Chains A and B, each alone.
Chain A
Amino acid sequence: MTELRDTANFEDGDAFYAALVEAIDRQDDDGAVALLARLVLILANQIGDRAVLHAALDLAVTSEPRRPVATNPETTPSVRRS
Chain B
Amino acid sequence: MTGQRARFGYTPRAHTIDDPPEQRRVVVVGAGLVGLTLAIDLRRQGVPVLLLERSDTVSVGSRSICQAKRTLEIWDRLGVGEAIRTKGITWRIGRVFHGGGEVFSFDLLPESGHKMPAFVNLQQYHVETVLHARFAEFGGEVRFLNTLSAIEPRDDGALLTIDTPEGPYRIDAEWVVSCEGSRSTIRSALGLGFVGETFEDKFLIADVKMRRAEFPTERWFWFNPQFHDGQTSLLHRQADDVWRIDLQLGWDADIEAEKHPDRVRQRIETMLGHGDFDFEWLSIYVFQCRTLERYVHGRVIFAGDSAHQVSPFGARGGNGGVQDADNLGWKLRRVLDGSAPPGLLESYNEERLFAARENILNSKRATDFMTPKSKTSRLLRDQVLTLAVHHPFARALVNSGRLSLPAHLGGSRLNTPDDAVWQTGRMGPGSPAADAPIRRGAADGFFLDVLGDRFVALTTDPDAPPSIMVGSHRVDVVVLGRDVTDPTGLLSERYDLQPGSMILFRPDQHLALRRRQTDVAALRAGVDRALGREIPA
**Residues of A participating in the B interface, judged by any CB pair closer than 8 Å:** 30, 33-34, 37-38, 41-42, 45, 72, 74-82
Contacts and interface: CB of A to CB of B under 8 A. Distances in A.
- Which among A37, A77, A81 has the highest number of chain B CB atoms within 10 Å? A37
Closest 7 CB pairs of A and B: A37-B383, A45-B393, A79-B197, A75-B374, A78-B200, A37-B380, A38-B383
B99 to A, nearest CB: 14
Contact of A80 (B194, B197, B375): B197
Interface string B369-394: 00101111001101110110001011
Interface string B395-416: 0010000000000000000000
B215 interface: no
Contacts of A81: 196-197
Given A33-B376, A41-B397, A45-B394, A78 B383 contact: no
- B contacts with A: majority SS: mixed
Contact of B387 (A41, A76, A77, A82): A41
Contacts of A33: 376, 379
A74 B199 contact: no
Given A41-B387, A45-B393, A82 B251 contact: no
Nearest to A45: B393
Contacts of B290: 82
A38 B200 contact: no
Contacts of A78: 199-201, 251, 371, 373
Contacts of A34: 379, 382-383
8 contacts: A38-B387, A75-B373, A78-B200, A78-B251, A79-B199, A82-B197, A82-B288, A82-B290
A79 B368 CA distance: 10
Interface in B245-288: 251, 288
Contact of B194 (A30, A45, A76, A82): A82
A76 B193 CA distance: 25
Query: Is the interface on chain B under 10, 10 to 19, 20 to 34, or 35 or more residues?
Result: 20 to 34
B108 to A, nearest CB: 23
Given A75-B373, A82-B290, A30 B379 contact: yes
Interface of B: 193-194, 196-201, 251, 288, 290, 371, 373-376, 379-380, 382-384, 386-387, 391, 393-394, 397
Contacts of A30: 379
A41 B198 contact: no
A82 B198 contact: yes
Contacts of B387: 38, 41-42
A79 to B, nearest CB: 4
A78 B289 CA distance: 13
Given A79-B198, A82-B198, A37 B374 contact: no
A34 B251 CA distance: 24
Nearest to A79: B197
Given A34-B379, A78-B200, A78-B251, A41 B394 contact: yes
A82 B196 contact: yes
B299 to A, nearest CB: 27
Given A33-B379, A78-B199, A82-B290, 11 more contacts: A37-B383, A41-B380, A41-B394, A42-B387, A42-B391, A45-B393, A45-B394, A76-B373, A81-B196, A81-B197, A82-B197
Nearest to A82: B198
A32 B192 CA distance: 49
Contacts of A41: 380, 383-384, 387, 394, 397
Nearest to A40: B380
B393 A74 contact: no
Contacts of B391: 42
A76 B184 CA distance: 31
A76 B386 CA distance: 26
B376 A80 contact: no
A38 B394 CA distance: 10
A34 B385 CA distance: 12
Contacts of B376: 33
A29 to B, nearest CB: 11
A42 B393 CA distance: 8
A41 B201 CA distance: 27
A42 B196 CA distance: 33
Contacts of A82: 193-194, 196-198, 288, 290
B386 A38 contact: yes
Contacts of B197: 79-82
Contacts of A72: 374
B379 A37 contact: yes
Contacts of A76: 373
Nearest to B396: A45
A42 B392 CA distance: 11
- Which among A33, A41, A75 has the highest number of chain B CB atoms within 10 Å? A41
